[in-house]
Amino acid sequence: MTNLAIFDLDHTLLDGDSDYLWGQFLVEQGRVDGESYERQNRVFYQQYQAGTLDIDAFASFSLAPLAAHEPDELYALRRRFLREKIEPCVAAGAAGLLERHRGGGDTLIITTATNRFITEPIAELLGVPHLLATDPEMRDGRYTGRITGHANFREGKVLRLRQWLEHGQVQYAHTTCYSDSHNDLPLLNFADTAVAVDPDPVLRTEAERRCWSIITLR
């Protein structure tokens, strides 16, 4: 029997959005059409903040560059991205929070709507062994630009978590979930203990109404 410590990634453990930063990085590297890609990337980000994001449309947009490049080239770009964009934006308090749960013997999980190609090395950087993310499809050694399974977003985070628990036959006594976003209210409602981390205005209002803890990692 274990306790689960479940963490959103973007704007929670990171002081930034890894998906959005990846898009900016691709623009900087000339791997996508700069002006139009940046404009559409910003629109999707604004929709996410507003709670109106069409996750399937966003997945098609965000995964298209993976299908357009060879995997070895993508992995080289990702190593630079991790070093230049992600390492500087790990939230100041993230390591301490993770270590507190790790030291308590909890099972640590990152759950994120951002795709696994981007987030897998970030989970490794943070020392979190379990990652639930939107999974990009790969066939014949190349990314297809589509997702496989359910997107790990909103209610999908709860669905994917339940599937992970059932598949691994994980027996748990208590769940603590951390997030910054009102998009994660289904996940926070699932948790035994919900913690709002540097929350957006909608989540802050809900956390105050329900007497959830509100913390900052920045």
Residue 165 near residue 172 (C-beta atoms within 8 A): yes
| 104-152-154 Cα angle (round to 5) | 90
Beta pairing, strands 142-148 & 130-139: antiparallel
Q: How far apart are the C-alpha atoms of 159 and 121, rounded to whole Å?
A: 23
10 as an active site residue: the answer is yes
Q: Exposure of 18 by Cβ count < 10 A (0-12 exposed, 13-18 middle, 19+ buried)?
A: buried
Neighbours of 46 (CB within 10 A): 11
Catalytic residue among 10, 15, 19, 106: 10
E strand or H helix that includes residue 176:
strand 172-179
Q: How far apart are CA 152 and CA 150, in angstroms?
A: 6
Altogether, the residues listed in the chain come to a count of 218
Residues labelled as active-site residues: 8, 10
